[in-house]
């Protein structure tokens, strides 16, 4: 009777990869490494885009605040408003040059 020979599949794959398929194994490793680098670069790119968008929003907020401050400065430095406050709250009035007394 003929004895059946059993083959170990793991040994066959190992022998095929490391003795006959070194180039294919190297290419497989390079493709996997390339895929991981693509994932890493994509992650960093998206992170940088999100940071840029946050900075744009902050810039817009600061720009709006700056414009409001300029408007407030113009309103507060209006001469008629200052004159009205001086007359009403501080009881100030214009001095007639003829009534001006010089101290000697």
pLDDT per residue as tens digits for the range 6-22:
888 998 888 887 888 88
**DSSP letters along 5-64, please?**
PP--HHHHHHHIIIII-HHHHHHHHHHHHHHHHHHHHHHHHHHHHHHHHHHHHHHHHHHH
Q: Which residue has the tokens 């001469």?
A: 79
Neighbours of 86 (CB within 10 A): 13
Q: How is residue 79 written in tokens? A: 């001469």
| pLDDT confidence bin for 3, thresholds 50/70/90 | confident
| pLDDT confidence bin for 25, thresholds 50/70/90 | confident
Q: How is residue 20 written in tokens? A: 């006959």
Is the pTM higher than 0.85? The answer reads no
């Amino acid at each position: 009777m003929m004895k059946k020979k059993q083959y170990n599949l793991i040994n066959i794959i190992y022998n095929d990869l490391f003795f006959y398929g070194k180039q294919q194994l190297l290419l497989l490793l390079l493709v996997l490494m390339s895929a991981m680098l693509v994932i890493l670069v994509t992650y960093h790119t998206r992170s940088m885009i999100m940071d840029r968008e946050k900075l744009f929003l902050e810039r817009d907020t600061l720009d709006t605040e700056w414009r409001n401050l300029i408007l407030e400065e113009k309103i507060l430095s209006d001469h008629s408003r200052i004159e009205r406050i001086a007359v009403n709250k501080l009881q100030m009035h214009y001095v007639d040059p003829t009534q001006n007394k010089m101290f000697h």
